[in-house]
Amino acid sequence: MNLNDFLGPLTLPAWIVSLPLVAAGLGVALPKIGRPAAVFTAFATSLLVVRLAGEVLRHGTIQLQVGGWPATLGIALQADGLSVVMLSMTCLIGGAVTLYAAGYFGADSAAISFWPLWLFLWAALNALFLSGDIFNLYVTLELLGLSAVSLVALSRSAEAPPAAMRYLLVSLIGSLSYLMGVALLYAAGGTLDLNALAAAGPHRPSISAAFALMAAGLVMKSALFPMHFWLPPAHANAPAPVSAALSALVVKGSFYILMRLWLTIFEPFINPATADLIGVMAAFAIVWGSIQALLAQRLKMLVAYSTVAQIGYIFLIFPLSSMPAATQTAWQGGLYFVFSHACAKAAVFLAAGNIVYSVGHDRISELNGIAQRLPVSMFAFALAGVSLIGLPPSGGFVAKWLYLNAALTTGQWWWTVLILGGGLLSTAYVFRFFSRAFSYTTETVGGRPVPWIMEWTAFVLAMCAVILGLTAPAVIKLFTAGQPF
């Protein structure tokens, strides 16, 4: 057995999943080691993911049966272009959040619990994106939910525990619904493997029921209107790095699963009406989320409602891709939204976290002139805002452009109106905060200085959102490696 067997391309997925898990375990056993373990894991995992991306680009989809156990009994890991992009996104945001949290948490007790929980969350995400069977997805979903809830509860604010509780209850109902769907699928298909189920036989009523259950559960966990009510309190009251991770990554996990199921198992059974129903819910999400963001009193609440709206955009992937002429473009656009939104939203939450760290509150009406005190964070906010609105040169613009193309080439002009209207609404709520932040004031209010790492991680993430706008062809080439669509 040589090094190549151990660390070769085929075992990369296993390493990517187990590294954060091991680090998390170490963090529980030896609390002092938590922070350095996390930073090391961030770097190491990123390197592994880059290597995996290279392999997938060269050889197409990579599959690994963990421990050599065959399908059904064993756990199948699978990496195609889509997984690799999601993994890269996780590493990028995860790395930034790790560095930010290193500066954010002082020596208080929350820090001891944060690192292992955060590493569990990261492990869950990695496993989720690499899973090749539906039950493994359930396990990762649960791990993801539990770590996320616990991270929310770390906040010292009084609103956090009820918000975490609500999040937990919704998360558990969602998982239960999903598990029921798994049971039905297994009963119908005799296997848990995604690819095997996709190749399975004729349509049966239980498959539609399974789809309904799983979709309902995943929609709840992804906070699509009207199942979004749990998200704003949870994301707004969590500690800053947690909010960033939640909005950027955790909600995308359940969305990813829905996407996979849609593309593989349920593909022959999808009714255009279902896609349109999702579209209607997405439309409400965009409008409602934006309006609530306009009315929010606190900055983090504004940002959380913005997530609700942007999730609507992401779910537009389903109705837009339902017509064959636009399928590829729609999927590319949706994924670009996922990636850009992750970078931009994380940057915004980190910047908002800097504000709270500095002045102790985030009430928008009292934040006049904050740009003078925190220029780097505000610049990050500005760049990220550009991506959220969908203006060039940003990833958000590329995503919007792809969506518009998909809508217009198939004559679905109503989605065009929605997409543009949503852009105008986002402009309104972004500039609502902006104009206050950049107004000139001579009053110098006291405030804690913010560690440079916290400001600069926010800025780097915001720059990533912009850079995504300039490197579209390369990123899209990565998405489509292994032909997930």
Partner 1 sequence: MTISLLYALVGVVLLGMGLYRLVIDPHLVKKILALNISGAGVFLFLVAVADRTPGFEPDPVPHAMVLTGIVVAVSATAVALGLVGRIREIKGTAEFSENEPE
Partner 2 sequence: MFFDDWLPLMILLTSLLPGIVIFVLPEDRIRLRTGLNMGGATLKLVLIGVMLWGVRHGHVYETRLSILPNMDLILNADAMSAMMTALSGILWFLTTLYAIAYLETSPQSRSRFFGFFSLCVSSTIGIALAGNLITFLMFYEMLTLTTYPLVVHRGTPDSMRAGRIYIAYTIGGGAAFLVAVAWLKALVGSVAFTEGGMLAPFVDTYATQLRFIFMLMIAGLGVKAALVPLHGWLPNAMVAPAPVSALLHAVAVVKAGAFGIVRVVYDVFGIEFSAELGLLQPLAVVAAFTIVYGSVRALFQDELKKRLAFSTVSQVSYIVLGASILGPVATIGGIVHLVHQGLMKITLFFCAGNFAETLGVHHVSQMNGVGRRMPWSMAAFTLGALGMIGVPPLAGFISKWYLATGGLAAGQPWVIVILVASSLLNAAYFLPVIYRGWFQDAAESWPDKPAAGMPETHWMLLIPPLITALLALLAGVLADAPFSPLEWARLIAAREYQP
Are the C-beta atoms of residues 86 and 53 closer than 8 Å to each other?
no
Give the three-state DSSP class for 187: helix
The pattern of x and - marking residues 280 through 319 that bind partner 2 according to CB under 8 A reads ----------------------------------------
Cα separation, 135 vs 204, whole angstroms? 20
Query: Is residue 391 a contact point for partner 2 (CB under 8 A)?
Result: yes
Q: Provide the minimum distance between the beta carbon of 296 and partner 1 in the complex, in angstroms, as a whole number.
A: 9
Query: Is residue 420 a contact point for partner 2 (CB under 8 A)?
Result: yes
The option from partner 1, partner 2, none interacting with 269 (CB < 5 to 8 A, set by class) reads none
Element (H or E) spanning 64, and its range?
A: strand 62-65
Cα separation, 185 vs 179, whole angstroms? 10
**Of 198, 184, 208, residue with least CA distance to 260:** 198
Cα separation, 380 vs 29, whole angstroms? 37
Task: Report the site for partner 2 in 92-121 (rule: CB under 8 A).
Answer: none
**Of 256, 278, 311, residue with least CA distance to 426:** 311
Stretch that binds partner 2, among 81-89, 209-217, 225-233, 401-409 (CB under 8 A): 401-409
Element (H or E) spanning 339, and its range?
A: helix 327-359
Stretch that binds partner 1, among 77-85, 227-235, 321-329, 437-445 (CB under 8 A): 227-235
Query: Is residue 139 a contact point for partner 1 (CB under 8 A)?
Result: yes
Query: Is residue 150 a contact point for partner 1 (CB under 8 A)?
Result: yes
Query: Is residue 401 a contact point for partner 2 (CB under 8 A)?
Result: yes
Q: Provide the minimum distance between the beta carbon of 179 and partner 1 in the complex, in angstroms, as a whole number.
A: 5
Query: Is residue 146 a contact point for partner 1 (CB under 8 A)?
Result: yes
From candidates 67, 440, 443, 444, binder to partner 2 by CB under 8 A: 440
Query: Is residue 162 a contact point for partner 1 (CB under 8 A)?
Result: yes
Q: How far is CA 205 from the centre of its chain?
A: 32
Are the C-beta atoms of residues 257 and 124 closer than 8 Å to each other?
no
Place of tokens 């190549």: 4
**Of 117, 177, 166, residue with least CA distance to 144:** 117
Task: Report the site for partner 1 in 278-307 (rule: CB under 8 A).
Answer: 301
Binding-site size, partner 1 (CB under 8 A): 36
The option from partner 2, partner 1, none interacting with 321 (CB < 5 to 8 A, set by class) reads none
Query: Is residue 183 a contact point for partner 1 (CB under 8 A)?
Result: yes
Stretch that binds partner 2, among 55-63, 279-287, 342-350, 437-445 (CB under 8 A): 437-445
Cα separation, 52 vs 411, whole angstroms? 39
Are the C-beta atoms of residues 32 and 115 closer than 8 Å to each other?
no
Query: Is residue 161 a contact point for partner 1 (CB under 8 A)?
Result: yes
Q: What are phi and psi of 195, to 5 degrees?
A: -65, -40
Which tokens sit at 56? 């997938």
Q: Provide the minimum distance between the beta carbon of 124 and partner 1 in the complex, in angstroms, as a whole number.
A: 12
Stretch that binds partner 1, among 179-187, 197-205, 217-225, 476-484 (CB under 8 A): 179-187
